[in-house]
Structure 1
Amino acid sequence: MDRTKKLHIAMFPWLAYGHTMPLLEVSKFLAQRGHRISYICTPKNISRLPKLPPHLSSNLSFVEFSLPHVHGLPPGVESTSEVPINKVPYLKRAYDKLRDPLSHFLKNSNVNWIIHDFAPYWLPGIAAPLGINLVFFSIFNASSSAFGGPPSALLGDHRKRLEDYTVIPEWIDYPCNNVAFKLYEIVNYQQFMDDDMFDIHRIGRLIQGCQFVTVRTCFEFEWDVIKLLIKLYQKPVVPVGLLPPLLSLPSNEDNKWEAIKSWLDSKGEKSVLYIAFDSEVNLSEESMHQLAFGIGKSNLTFIWVVRNSPVGEGQMNDIIPPGFEKRVSNRGLVLRDWAPQLRILAHSSVGGFLTHCGWSSIIEALMYSRALILFSGGNSDQGLNARLLHGKKVGLEIERNEVDGSFTSDLVAATIRRVMVEPEGEVLRANAQAMREIFGNEELSNNYLNEFTRFIEEFSPSACHC
């Protein structure tokens, strides 16, 4: 394809902030290169995105589709952050009902490419007759994708029991430091599944139906794994880079940040532990209490972001132990619901991050060299990420019972202290520091986005080979 020809590219993300934001970053880059971008999502999800720079508004437009109602989904819900995990299958069924409005849009819009997420398994069926090319955008890293396997494994019955997900699959041909699920994680993740269409089946169909796959990673971090994916998928796999976010803050939250910054400014360099879990992480009261007691026993200064649970998930405001905030007020800051995570991680007083192991949060931490205390939230790729980062020695996973996920406050405290301050954690801290050259490298990120853009511009089916 002539690179001087400007393309019309549609973006179609899944309904979660961790999915909409990476696709928006790619949209902005493509728009800067002069391509016309139609970013398709529901009104509420679009309203949560940051405002576009004025110079991009002529090339990047938002297309709003109202989310159809399905029985079982609470009224007004449009994203995973608004529902407990057992309601997410209904959100997927509502998302699938976007097929008709999307088909109508595509028939009347001269779209050349659709860059899509894991969910719309039906998309190849409506794109192919229209001559529209598809890019399956995996917002996960290559290791998580490789664990899933080739389309034949994703669509077949290779894994008949839950225990089959707790072992390294036979197609992994590189040292992977036991990157597999724990049983409690896969049991928890099963709640997330729609019995009508499993996620792995969605992904398998989309890999089969797309022109190429892109993953949110880079060769500098996962060289062997990206090469394996090309063999597994038998089609091009083009890494889009890590997409490190830019440091910015909505103006209406400046006052909250100033108070947090003042508190951090009074602390020593790399002395503060930052703790935050995604709003979709569903921990029991007992687990939250054990975490709190462990954080307290570590005797370290910390900031803990405690989020409200989604609608219908029970009480969350009082899920930390009674009196905890008062007992730790001399060295701990508990924030409710929201905090400017990127700004906190960027502050020189922060030395470590106790994380649920979402890939976006890991990227944000390592772009500022923060060592990781790994506590898998048990959803999606989080357990695989915990094993991956533990194996790469940039963090340490909190030891848990592999069957029920239970753990002790003493283990929490010991893991925190080892990562943050004790001599045997020095290698973890040094490795996390070195990761900044990859995760915080804006030039490297732009190089990957340029290569991704070039691949789309020059794509020719006859030129594709693996």
Structure 2
Amino acid sequence: MDGSQKQLHIVMFPWLAYGHIMPFLQVSKFLAQKGHKIYYISTPKNISRLPKLPPDLCSNISFIQLPLPHVYGLPPGAESTSDLPIHQVPYLKKAYDKLETQLTEFLKKSSQVKWIIHDFAPYWLPPVATQRGINLVFISILSASSIAFFGPPSELLSGRRQRPEDFTMAPVWLDYPNNLAFKLHEMVGHQECMDSVSDFERVGTLLLSCKIVALRSCYEVEADALRVLSKIHQKPIIPLGLLPPSLPSNEDKENENWEAMKTWLDTRRDKSVFYVALGSEVSLSQEFMHELAFGIEKSGLPFIWAVRNRPFVEGQLVQDILPSGFEERVSGRGLVLRGWAPQLRVLAHSSVGGFLTHCGWSSVIEALGFGLPLILFPGASSDLGLVARLMHGKKFGLEIERNDLDGSFTSDSVAKLMHGKKFGLEIERNDLDGSFTSDSVAKSIKRVMVDPEGEPLRANAYAVKEIFSSVELSNKYLNEFTRSIEEFPPSDTEV
């Protein structure tokens, strides 16, 4: 920290989902490295899941555990979305809202806190902060394109889009060529995880009240969306960079099952294996899981599939969601993992050549950071469908302009390619109910992995590897974000 710069006391308050908790921790570490005091607030179980801090950051980051209040309908011990099927997430939101009392008490005892960096959910936070002269920063871990699609607060709070059908077309304020729209089944599915206070009301209220909107994005990837966001919000829109994660160290607990997986991967040809993971929150029906499994089997290609068995799927207790005999039939070329998989290690292995993904923004960033093309199978929650459209794009076969002699390229050439946005192929599904066939799954896998028609797509994914994996680029954006907070005019409201 600059000698003339005062240390800031900052609260970090993420939503209760692993895909939110980890990016918030990355930002916390960066701010702590700059000398600021961070209070990272979450529930005990979520904090216990976090990796250990480097010794040099321990004095600047304090983990504040707030016990999650009980609400009727929330299973005992559930403290994050990964602990629940989608239809029970509304109960988690109700419990999260009840953290208001504990957070307010913490702020009363912590008079030096002048910033709260929050997520999409705590719509009740603005009056709590205003009363104590605290500024708010809204960090969105979604893509800039997704946030731009949802529009200004006026649309979110009382706009024309009220029915699921209203979200199946690109909005008028996206004034650049795009294909951003939900499929009907995606919006219907997302409604299952909203409680009496809709996600749109939560986000709209917070966008109105925050001083800064920060996003997990960068101009090299989403220049048009960031420009639109500045236009419709009329407040600082600050990219954080893509926050590429680091591979875990060899001492990490995640290493326990890795050696056997690595041995299996080491026997495979380069780029021959595709990895399948549907995230910690996506729950498919048994029918859909069977159809997906049959498609993976029909592809005939080697694969690793991280299968997360949930105790309940669509309210039904299930012992094993895979088809009977599936693992025996594919045992010569497929590896099925139960539960948690070391995703970064798998994606980084030279034998892995593609990723069948649920289209979480974090997973997409990880895959493209290793230059891997995407087989897009979006879940029906959050902005997963929009990410699929963003990666599938309208055009096919664009390549980044590179120097013929040394292969170098410019950020402008990357931005030019991103207008085409063809880094993955979306598995064909029925727009109304999300159904699909095993043949469409197999066809998409083969096209992305081995078919000649997929070569431009594979080249495009590899070409943006340097952008999506660049810690230097992300740190540049994080530096700018840090300065924006440090230099922001003090609040007029005094405690």
Give the TM-score normalised by structure 1. 0.97
- Answer whether contact 1:279 1:308 (CA < 8 A) is retained: no
1:405 to 434, 444, 452: 434
1:180-239 deviations in whole A, cap 9, x for unaligned? 100010111110110x20001000000011101001000000001101001111111001
**Equivalent position to 1:444, from 459, 465, 473:** 473
**Cα offset for 1:283?**
0.6
- 8 Å CA contact 1:37–1:61 kept in 2: the answer is yes
Match of 1:21 in 2: 22
Q: Deviations over 1:340-395 (max 9, x none)?
A: 00000000100000000001111110100010000011110100000000011100
Match of 1:395 in 2: 424
The one-letter code of the counterpart of 1:28 is K
In structure 1, what is the Cα distance between the partners aligned to 2:159 and 2:206? 18
Distance 1:310 1:439, change over 3 A: farther
State the Cα distance separating 1:401 from its structure 2 match: 0.6
Task: Say if 1:173 and 1:331 are closer, same or farther in 2 by CA, change over 3 A.
Answer: same
Provide structure 2 residue ranges, at least 5 long, that are not aligned to the other structure.
Answer: 394-420
Match of 1:202 in 2: 202
Report the CA distance between 1:310 and its aligned residue. Answer: 5.3
Say whether residues 1:97 and 2:98 are aligned partners.
yes
1:42 is matched with 43
1:254-403 matches, cutoff 5 A = 254-309=255-310, 313-391=315-393, 392-403=421-432
Return closer, same or farther for 1:317/1:341 CA change in 2, 3 Å cut-off: farther
Match of 2:404 in 1: none
2:370 aligned counterpart, secondary structure: coil
User: Does the 8 Å contact 2:312/2:318 carry over to 1?
Assistant: no
**Contact map agreement 1:2 1:457 (CA 8 A) in 2:** no
| 2:122 is equivalent to residue 120 of structure 1 | yes
Q: How far off is 1:402 after superposition?
A: 0.4
Q: Are 1:6 and 2:7 counterparts? A: yes
Amino acid in structure 1 at the alignment position of 2:129 = A
CA distance in 1, matches of 2:348, 2:70: 41
Please state if 1:414 is matched with 2:443. yes
Q: Say which SS state the counterpart of residue 136 (structure 1) adopts.
A: strand
Does 1:111 find its partner at 2:113? yes
Stretches of 4+ moved more than 4 A in 1?
Answer: 310-313
Q: Which of the residues 455, 459, 464 maps onto 1:430? A: 459
Q: In 2, distance between residues paired with 1:209 and 1:461?
A: 15
Structure-to-structure mapping, 1:51-130, within 5 angstroms: 51-109=52-110, 110-130=112-132
Whichever residue aligns with residue 65 of structure 2, its letter is: E
Tell me, yes or no, if the aligned pair for 1:84 and 1:310 is still in contact at 8 Å. Answer: no
The 3 A distance-change label for structure 1 pair 262 and 426 is same
- In structure 2, what residue type is equivalent to 1:413? A
1:279 offset after TM fit, Å?
A: 2.4
Structure 1 position 174 matched with structure 2 position 161: no
Whole-Å separation in 1 of the counterparts to 2:336 and 2:77: 30
What letter is aligned with 2:440? L
- d(CA) in 1 for partners of 2:242 and 2:3? 28
Per the alignment, residue 216 of structure 2 pairs with 216
SS of 2:239's equivalent in the other structure is coil
**Cα shift readout 1:138-181 (whole Å, capped 9, x = no counterpart):** 010111001110000000041132110101111111111x2110
Mapped contact 2:126–2:206 kept (Cα < 8 A)? yes
Q: Cα offset for 1:270?
A: 0.3
Mapped to 2, the partners of 1:62 and 1:42 lie a distance apart of 10
One of 124, 139, 150 as aligned partner of 2:141: 139
**Take 2:295 and 2:318, find their aligned partners in 1: how far apart are those partners?**
19
Q: Is the 8 A contact 2:153 2:208 kept in 1?
A: yes
State the shift of 1:311 in Å: 5.5
Helix, strand or coil at the partner of 1:384 = helix
The alpha carbon displacement at 1:75 in A equals 1.6
User: Aligned-pair RMSD on alpha carbons?
Assistant: 1.4
Contact kept in structure 1, 2:309 and 2:320, CA below 8 Å? no
Shift, 1:316, TM fit: 4.7
Instruction: Tell me: CA distance 1:275–1:316, structure 2 relative to 1, closer, same or farther (3 Å).
Output: farther
Q: Distance in 2 between matches of 1:443 and 1:117?
A: 25
Once the two structures are overlaid, the 10-residue window that deviates more, 157-166 or 60-69, is 157-166
Q: Which moved more, 1:383-392 or 1:243-252?
A: 243-252
> Partner letter of residue 113 of structure 2?
V
- Distance of aligned partners of 1:434 and 1:168 in 2 relative to their CA distance in 1, 3 Å threshold: same
> What CA distance in whole angstroms lies between the structure 2 residues aligned with 1:269 and 1:262?
14
- The answer to whether structure 1 residue 229 and structure 2 residue 229 are counterparts is yes
* In 1: Cα distance, 2:490 partner to 2:177 partner: 33
In 2, are the aligned partners of 1:82 and 1:311 still within 8 Å (CA)? no
Partners of 1:22 and 1:139 within 8 A in 2: yes
User: Which TM-score applies when normalising by structure 2?
Assistant: 0.91
